[in-house]
Structures are given as C-alpha cells and as structure tokens.
Amino acid sequence: MIRIHHLTKSFKKFRALDDINLQLERGQAVSLLGPNGSGKTTLIKSILGLVIPEKGSIHINGQEIRSHWSYRSKIGYMPQIGRYPENMTIRQVLAMLREVRKDCRQYDEELIRQFDLPAIDHKLMRNLSGGTRQKVSACLAFLFSPDILILDEPTAGLDPLASEILKDKIARERANGKLVLITSHVLSDLEDITSHVVYLQEGKLICFKTVDELKESTGQHQLNKVIAAMMQTHLHENNY
C-alpha cells in the first residue's frame, strides 16, 4: 500500500532520513518509534507531502505521490497539536471540513458520537481544553473514511475513557483493512493495537518487524521493555 524506496532527506548538514526502505500494507497497525531526532516526524511529513526528499520515492497504491497529489484524500491525519480557527465552534469546524471535502460520500461519525461532541459543539475552539481539542482532531482524522490513518501521539491529553474509545476504534479500523501508522512516547498505549514496529535512530531504519518477532528476539513480553532492549543493543553495537 505504501512503498518507501531509498528515501533520503537532509536539512543542511543534518541527515534526517538516511536511505529508508519500507513496505507497509493494509491491515497493519505500525508503531513508528525512536528517540527524539530519529526521523519520525520527517518520515510522516514526507508521506503527507509536506517535506520533499532529495532522494528516493514514496508510492501509495502503486502511484508515486509527487505525481498524484490527490492521494492525500485517502489519508486521515491526526497531528500532535491540532490548530484550528480559534473563533469557530466545533460544529463550524466540522462543517467547514465537510464543505472542503465534498468528494466524500460516506462520513465516519462514530467517534463524534462516542466522544459526545454534539453536546458541546457550540463551544469555541479557543475555549476548549487540550483533551477536547485532541478529540476533535481524532474525529477529523476518521471522518472521511480514509484508507490510511496517520496518528501522531493520538492519546496525549485524553482521559482514560477517551483513550480506550480511541484505541478500540483504531483496532477495529485495522481489522477492517485500514493501514494505521502511529507515533507515541507512551508505549503502554500501543501494546494492544500494534502489529508491527518501525524503529528509527539517527535517520536510519534499525528494524521493521512484527511485535511477536521482536518479543521473541529480545526475550521480553512488554512493548516498552522490547524497545528498551533494542535501544540498549543498538547503543552497545555503536560503542564497538
């Protein structure tokens, strides 16, 4: 579904992505992990067409994205910090985006109902708490029934109930054949929904494996301990 081929991107002398090769498929929930500065954000922005690499290519459903910008209508993106017109209400923001995306014939409003947004959709965006803004961002990511979901720190700021609602939604969308790409520093939030892990460090792809493969190779049974073991192994190898 997404094929990333020899992707390389530098910012002046800093190599943010170094010859990345990946093949991501439908029905996968891929956690994109790595320390700060490892290239996660640059990779996401490259897939979204917000960063242009100097080398390599990204294909979605067989088409190179630089030739067909319409591919972005197939992606639902939840940013880490959603920025919306502060003087608009929740209802107006949802209506505005529906107007922009008139091509969509089937809306997914399940999260809107589960988060009970209609009860507060008269509120201005500037008056919302961080958690409620996150709920709006999540609803917008799923609203247009995309084939690909890119979720950046999706549970940050959510209360436990909202977090469980969102994780359950992610799991069901994956079961329905969607490709889900997630970044998060809270690895416990990813434990039940992740099928594959992409681990980046210093712009390089260190591994792309299933969670079961990683647990077997590290001898660990929790995702946070699996990643800690990988980081320790990589650090040890770099010191020799």
pLDDT 10s digits, 136-195: 999 999 999 999 999 999 999 999 999 999 999 999 999 999 999 999 877 778 888 999
Query: Mean pLDDT in the chain?
Result: 92
Q: Minimal CA–CA distance to 58: which of 41, 71, 40, 74?
A: 71
Tokens matching residue 51: 């960063």
pLDDT at 59 over 90: yes
Tokens matching residue 13: 């002398």
Identify the three-state secondary structure at position 145: coil
Range of the domain at 19: 2-238
Residues 6+ apart with CB under 8 A from 60: 1, 2, 3, 71, 74, 148
- Counting the structural domains of the chain, the total is 1
CATH number of the domain bearing residue 45:
3.40.50.300
Name the percent of the chain lying above pLDDT 90: 75
- Which pTM does this prediction carry? 0.93
For 151-170, give one letter per residue: b (16+ CB within 10 A) or e: bbbbbbbbeeebbebbbebb
- pLDDT category at 238 given cuts 50, 70, 90 is low
